[in-house]
Amino acid sequence: MKYSTVIPGTLLLLQASAHYLFGHLLVNETHTEKWKYIRYLNITPVYATEFPPNNQWALAAPIYDLNSVDMRCNHQVDLFAHNTSTATVIAGDEVGFRIVTDYDESLTIYFPGPGQVYLSRANNLETYLGDGDWFKIASAGPSNDTNWQLEGGLDMNFTIPASTPPGKYLMRIEHIWPILPLWELLHMQAQFFISCAHIEVMGPGGGAPTEFVRFPGAYKKEDPGFSVEDHYNNLDQYVAPGPPVWEG
């Protein structure tokens, strides 16, 4: 679906049909059980009065507010941290996130925009709120001048840097739908589809991550990457928001 010429009224309908959640962790291309290693969540207040607590479409509603604590890992995920298992991964392994499709097999990563992954060290993942430092380890933006790497797929795959210090981490994925200038005039905002996994990284370490940020606070509305002139042209000029990727 091409969105650059979509009129605002139609846009609202498209948004309503295109919610998605990253609920599966992938480790070396192995598909894990839904929500086993990824924190579950509650419905955001805007939908809570209209839908039952486990309605998947409502759960998958995006985050808009850059200043909300929901920018960490989504809405009220801390309530489910104690029920989330921790996956063991080896530094240098390929891992990934996959969207949940069992409630709608036609779902894909529906919107154009970048996917990014951050890590945050945790002493105790069952109690960690994600309020510490985060560093970026992956970013998947345009694949060429007119297309995005993730749009239309199910997964975002990437490699844990080989020199990542061993330990337990929250691993956060965000997929961002940037807005167009017209939409900005209508006070629309970029949308974030966010999930967090529990992982323990094994390996020799030796690296020193840099360029730390915190959520909320990492992004400002004026940052590059939240607005584009066209979703499908001149993408070679696109700059994703946030710090550079730490490659180890």
Q: What are the C-alpha distances in Å from 149 to residues 14, 58, 60, 116, 175?
A: 20, 26, 21, 12, 11
Burial (CB count <10 Å: 0-12, 13-18, 19+), residue 244: exposed
| pLDDT tens column, 89-134 | 999 999 999 999 887 888 899 999 999 999 999 999 999 999 999 9
Q: pTM (2 decimals)?
A: 0.92
- Give the model confidence (pLDDT) of 140-198 as tens digits: 999 999 999 999 999 999 999 999 999 999 999 999 999 887 766 555 789 999 999 99
- Taking only the tens place, the pLDDT of each residue in 25-54 is 999 889 999 999 999 999 888 777 777 877
> Which amino acid would we find at residue 159?
T
What gap in Å lies between CA 18 and CA 13, rounded to an integer?
9
C-beta atoms surrounding 14 within 10 Å: 13
Backbone phi and psi for residue 102, each to the nearest 5 degrees, phi listed first: -70, -20
Q: pLDDT for 49-96, tens place per residue?
A: 777 877 887 888 899 999 999 999 999 999 999 999 999 999 999 999
pLDDT at residue number 2 = 52
Q: Is the pLDDT of residue 10 over 80?
A: no
Cα(151)–Cα(114) distance, integer angstroms:
9
Closest CA to 110 of 205, 227, 15, 206: 15
Instruction: Report pLDDT for 147.
Output: 97
Q: Please name the amino acid found at residue 100.
A: V
| Residues 133, 119: Cα–Cα separation, whole Å | 8
Task: Select from 167, 168, 163 the least CA-distant residue to 204.
Answer: 163
Residue-wise pLDDT for 155-170, tens only, equals: 999 999 999 999 999 9
Sort strands 191-202 and 87-90 into parallel, antiparallel or unpaired: parallel
| Per-residue b or e along 114-134, where b marks 16 or more CB atoms closer than 10 Å to that residue's CB | bbbbbbbbbeebeebebeeeb
